[in-house]
Amino acid sequence: MVFKNAGYALVGAFEAMSNEQIKRQFDTNVFGVMNVTRAILPYFRQKNGGTIINTTSMGGLLTFPLYSVYHSTKWALEGFMESLQFELKQFNIKVKNVEPGAIKKDFYDRSLDFVTKKGLTAYDKYVNTAHPNMLKEGEKADGPLVVAKKVFAAAIDSSSKLRYPVGGNGPLLLFLRWILPLSLFNAIVRSQIEKGFK
C-alpha cells in the first residue's frame, strides 16, 4: 500500500497569482502524486496487487470561492485516479481517494498560501468577506481523527470503491452537488461564503 497525503492550498483572487505560484501548486498537489504513483506501479504489478490511497478533497468534486487553482489540482487528481483505476484493475491494484471536507487542523495556517498582489485592490472587498467565512467553516469542523479513521477504513476495504468522503458536512455537500442544479447549489455556497458581501 502507498498513501499520498502531501498538499497545500493556494488561495486568493486568481488574477493575483503568478505563474510560479501556480506551477508550485501543481508540482506539489498533482505532479508529486503522479511521480510517486508511477514509481510504485512496477512493484505493485510484480506482486500482482496493491492499494494506492490518496488524500484528495471534496474540493476535487465541487468548488468554493478563492480556491480556483487549488480546486483545479484536486479535480485533476480525481480525474487522474478515476481513469487510472481502469488500467490498473488487471493487476489487482486498487485506487482509493479519501475526500475530506472542512477539517479543523493546521491546513488553514501551515498548509494555506494566501496570495495578494501589490496594487491589485479590485477584489479586496470580496476577499475580505469570503475568506474569513471560509476560515470559520474550518474552525467549527471535525478534527483530523475522522480523516485518519477514513484512511484506515479505505486501507482495509477489499472492494474497488474509489471515493471515501469524510468530515462534517462534506459528504452531504457532495450529495447535494450531484442532485441539485448547479445554479441552486452555487446559491447555497454563496449564502454561506458571501455572507455580508454587498
Beta strands in the chain (DSSP E): 2-4, 9-11, 50-55, 93-100, 112-114, 163-166
**Measured at the alpha carbon of residue 57, what is the angle toward residues 18 and 128, in degrees to the nearest 5?**
50
Catalytic residues: 70
C-alpha torsion 6→76→1→144, nearest 10: 50
Cα-atom radius of gyration of the chain, to the nearest Å?
18
Residue 94 · residue 160 · CB < 8 Å: yes
